[in-house]
């Protein structure tokens, strides 16, 4: 386990070291309720493996965003769950 993963709050929730309300778990991902929800239903979905993809692509230090668009009203055009990794510019919040 990398030092980054060893210090990761989400990895600790995944491993049961920190309490969390797990709503789904399989061999690839874990979903749990956010402790400070921003909507009536606010769930975080993480891969079971601590992935440093943006770091490997050279964007972790400056920052990046991962977006999932689900169904037409959210802007999805290919109706298969997929993520967008966005980086290389300053992005505002909230996103939309």
Q: What ranges do the domains of the chain cover?
A: 1-50, 52-96
**The one catalytic residue among 42, 50, 82, 84:** 82
Summarised one tens digit per residue, pLDDT across range 27-80 is: 999 999 999 888 899 999 999 998 878 888 888 888 888 888 899 998 889 888
> At the top level of CATH, which class does the domain 52-96 belong to?
alpha beta
42 catalytically annotated: no
Strands (E) in the chain, as ranges, are 22-25, 29-33, 43-47, 64-67, 84-87
The structure tokens 């979903």 sit at 31
Strand partners, 31: 24, 45
Q: Is the peptide bond before 80 cis (omega within 30 degrees of 0)?
A: no
All residues at 6 or more sequence positions from 18 whose CB lies less than 8 Å from its CB, including other chains? 9, 12
Instruction: Report the CATH fold assignment for 1-50.
Output: HIT family, subunit A (3.30.428)
Same fold, 1-50 and 52-96: yes
What pTM did the predictor assign?
A: 0.72
């Amino acid at each position: 386990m990398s030092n980054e993963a060893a210090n990761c709050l989400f990895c600790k929730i995944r491993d049961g070291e920190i309490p969390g309300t797990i709503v789904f778990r399989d061999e690839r991902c874990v979903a749990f309720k956010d402790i400070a929800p921003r909507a009536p239903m606010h769930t975080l979905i993480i891969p079971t493996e601590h992935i440093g993809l943006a770091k490997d692509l050279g964007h972790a230090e400056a920052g990046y965003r991962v977006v999932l668009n689900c169904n037409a009203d959210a802007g999805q055009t290919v109706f298969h769950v997929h993520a967008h990794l966005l980086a290389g510019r300053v992005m505002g919040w909230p996103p939309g």
